[in-house]
Chains A and B, each alone.
Chain A
Amino acid sequence: GAGVSQTPSNKVTEKGKYVELRCDPISGHTALYWYRQSLGQGPEFLIYFQGTGAADDSGLPNDRFFAVRPEGSVSTLKIQRTERGDSAVYLCASSLSRTTSTEQYFGPGTRLTVT
């Protein structure tokens, strides 16, 4: 079946612009995560959704970052007034539910470059 998909695969934007990154999780997966991965580093947690609600947004670096999941499926990560330091690969992952042995399935990521 289809895995996690993310669009766009690459996004180049100018400093100060607004961007939206989209994630389509695996069908039926109720848990959805956003991570950010800088070059040479492991993924860093940003936000977690269980269904439609953001159950944990403690990883969002500041109030320029916001994410939604209005119907409990597709999620959009929104970044306002982008800065060069926001350049990274943004990964989305989904899992079936919040059980202790459930692996997270990752999408291919969106590579964001802020010039």
Chain B
Amino acid sequence: GQNIDQPTEMTATEGAIVQINCTYQTSGFNGLFWYQQHAGEAPTFLSYNVLDGLEEKGRFSSFLSRSKGYSYLLLKELQMKDSASYLCAVRDPDNTDKLIFGTGTRLQVFP
């Protein structure tokens, strides 16, 4: 089966750095995505990793280790608007491209 784990909730302070971890156990692997979802809104794309290493995009970075089945999303210089759910998703290894999502991590940023 497919299993994706991430913490349910996290809190952080404005201006700080937070790391959201994701571990996955799937029968294969064809890429990992991070999405941001504000309450009542659609998920929006943040990052994509298919090779090991760090991908940096502004204040957000995402890391992947395929051998460990592990990824993290790093958010720097946190802002109040970063309060949202962060969804880790693995692309279906059977190549239909469907995404298998974790339950999401709800991040609350406090002043």
Contact = CB atoms under 8 A, between A and B. Distances in A.
A103 B104 contact: no
Nearest to B31: A100
Contact of A33 (B31, B35, B87, B98): B98
Interface residues of B, number: 26
Interface residues of A, number: 27
Contact of A56 (B4, B35, B96): B96
Given A100-B50, A103-B48, A45 B100 contact: yes
- Which of B99, B100, B102 gathers the greatest number of chain A CB atoms within 10 Å? B99
Contacts of A109: 42
Contacts of B78: none
A42 B101 CA distance: 5
Given A40-B103, A101-B50, A56 B42 contact: no
Interface of A: 4, 31, 33, 35, 40-45, 48, 55-56, 59, 91, 95, 98, 100-109
